Amino acid sequence: MGSAFTFPLAENGNDVRLWGTWLDDEIIERTRRGNHPKLNRPLHPAVRLYASKEIEPALDGIDVLVVATSSDGFVPVLSHVIPVTPNGIPIVSLTKGFAIIDETVCLLSAAIRQLSNHHSYGAIGGPVKAVELAMHIPSVTVIAAPTEVSDSFAPYVQTPYYTFLRSEDVTGLEVSVALKNVYAIALGICDGIFTETHGDLFHNFPAALFSRSVAEIAAVVHAAGGNVQTAYGLGGIGDLHVTARSGKNREFGMRIGRGARAMSVYNEMLREGKQAEGYLALRAASAWIRYQYPGLYEHLPLFRTLDQIVFGNTTDTKLALMSVLRYPEPEPGALGSQRQKTDP
């Protein structure tokens, strides 16, 4: 996603540097010689490439730092990068998920606050698949950040095919985009169960699960102190829509729906070079919700069912997912305002 994001940035005439972590040196090297191996096309010629060792020249004189690691790379990479990033430079994140600091799960914004007092933080989320952004498919996304960050950042990125909207609800956006990877697994499981027997003729069930997913994301956003409208917007509904239709978390779910065990699928996909981040996000979110918002877990029947399917011992996944449909439609406000126990 970091690489795809260089297209609108470079086309807008910005000085764009793409630095790869120690895991990305081969990608940087291959991109120098031709096509970006994941996007299957060369990057914009103005993008300057930096291997992992070249972090200092990459950061020299920057106006903004954009992070696009996997969620489990967020803390390790930023622990390495922040000490050499000039103070006052805003950090904007394309990463979606949770962080773990001192064995405690937290939102990425909370992790940043642990790592630095000298950088403001913004999150980006919305229905944008990297390969489509690189292909210039019309896309819109949201930056949630303090106004001064989004005011200065959005114009760098706005292009005719890529629209950037502003929000101040960092918490709501972070929660929404982390959880959409989780709920995309549920929709993938549904596809896995029915595709072979019903072809493409089973829209009722996934549509109901999609609706339930949004309702539960909104409930968690509300509990975490975000604005439920964020869940009902591009960062929630929009991003879940695109994630559930294709991608690694859907594929992870589909293989489970066809009968495989979750942990085997996760490892099998990793060996194929595909990380299902929703698996990590589900485990993290389950711990985070139960620890920070006691009582909330019980109000999330689809989340609970998915947790049981992936980490428990549910034997009949179809029946388990069907049981979710029987719960009354939730109203996020009806849960009452939850109090967070601690904010690491």
Catalog residues that contact a copy of itself under the rule CB under 8 A.
Answer: 126-129, 131-133, 135, 137-140, 142, 160-161, 163, 165-167, 194, 198, 200-208, 210-211, 214-215, 218, 229, 232-234, 236-239, 241-242, 245-246, 318, 321-322, 325-326, 328-329, 331
Smaller CB distance to a copy of itself: residue 91 or 123? Answer: 123
Residue 199: CB atoms within 10 A of its CB come to 8
Cβ(35)–Cβ(41) below 8 Å: yes
With b meaning 16 or more CB within 10 Å and e meaning fewer, what string describes 136-153? Answer: eeebebbbbbeeebbeeb
Closest separation in Å from C-beta 274 to a copy of itself? 17
Annotation marks residue 318 as catalytic: no
Rounded least distance, CB 240 to a copy of itself, Å:
8
Q: Rounded to an integer, what distance in angstroms lies between the CA atom of residue 90 and that of residue 93?
A: 10
Looking at the Cβ atoms of 59 and 135, the one nearer to a copy of itself is 135
CB of 212 to a copy of itself, least distance (A): 8
- Report which of 162, 208, 192, 168 is spatially closest to residue 322, judged by C-alpha positions: 208
The catalytically annotated residue of 96, 129, 180, 248 is 180
Element (H, E) at 92: strand 91-93
Rounded (5°) CA angle 289-294-297: 55
Closer by beta carbon to a copy of itself, 205 or else 303: 205
Residue 64 Cβ, how far from a copy of itself at the closest point, in Å? 22
Beta-strand relationship, 17-19 and 48-50: parallel
Q: Which is nearer to a copy of itself, 103 or 201 (CB)?
A: 201
Of 74, 61, 63, residue with least CA distance to 2: 74
Which of the residues are catalytic?
Answer: 180
